[in-house]
Chains A and B, each alone.
Chain A
């Protein structure tokens, strides 16, 4: 949160919160409508995650005040994001190792 805690500054923050609320509501409706589009699965995933990322940025930036937060918090979060992506994609190595290998569920069915 910025250090300006005057009444006017807080009133300005409140105005921004209302605008963000409106944007989040509109983006939620767009997320649902986008799921009805006739696109491939990968395109649908890409679209849904882009919209979710925009919504998450609005929440983190304005409601959690990251847009004006101290560098210590930003450093902690950058480190977290780095390890988050390692954790998400590390198992991909195992998956790509098995590329082209017979898939058991085909015979199970």
Chain B
């Protein structure tokens, strides 16, 4: 069965269905992370003076800075992958999607080293209120990265490429929806980085 409005726009919304769907999903994601940011604010307000600063000083700012640059780079390569499809250049799409996947893997590897370094110093989510919210926020963000990687792999590996040959515009629109999700994940990190590591 053909999925309706995957290429042409609906008359009432002026959008293709996948774009409307991903934006509504992202709106729900804003509320999910918003709830946790709200929790962070109120936990910090109720914490003893200096408590959050003390525990935040145990995090690695250089590692997080590198991760920020990695994620920004992945956002650029993702948008370039989409632009390559618009230019009908599939080999460049593969190259940029590959770069995005590599950046995602690098982000997770750095996060792994960050987490294991905390665990080796007996720092766990139960160690303090700050660490509890730190692991919750970064853990949830990490799960979002993994989710994005699964979808990226789907578009990178050959079994999805038949759609490009049959309906290139449909394939391009799907990649655009993936890109919107990925930029949102980058956007969340843009706020997590200063809030958790620098303040």
Q: Which of the four size classes fits the interface of chain B? A: 35 or more
Quick one: which of A10, A17, A32, A60 contacts B76, CB cutoff 8 A? A17
Per-residue contact bits, chain B 173-194, to A (CB 8 Å; 1 contact, 0 not) = 0001001100110110011011
Cα-based distance from A81 to B68 in the complex (angstroms): 24
Q: Is the CB of A88 within 8 A of B37?
A: yes
Cβ of B79 < 8 Å from any Cβ of A?
yes
The distance in angstroms between the C-alpha atoms of A20 and B7, with both chains bound, is 28
Residues from chain B with Cβ under 8 Å of A17 in the complex? 76, 79-80, 83
| Segment of B38-46, B133-141, B151-159 engaged in the interface with chain A | B38-46
A91 cross-chain contacts in B, Cβ below 8 A: 38, 42
Q: Which residue of chain B has the shortest Cβ distance to A10 in the bound complex?
A: B86
Contacts of B48 in A (CB 8 A): 105-106, 109
A38 to chain B minimum Cβ distance, whole angstroms, is: 14
Within 8 A of B (CB), among A25-56: 25, 28, 31-32, 34-35, 41, 44-45, 48-49, 51-52, 55-56
Binds A, one of B18-26, B118-126, B142-150: B18-26
7 examples of A-B residue contacts, CB within 8 angstroms? A10-B83, A28-B65, A56-B190, A63-B76, A64-B179, A73-B23, A83-B31
Which B residues form the contact surface with A (CB < 8 A)?
13-15, 19-20, 23-24, 27, 30-31, 34-35, 37-38, 41-42, 45-48, 61, 65, 68-69, 72-73, 75-76, 78-80, 83, 86-87, 176, 179-180, 183-184, 186-187, 190-191, 193-195, 198-199
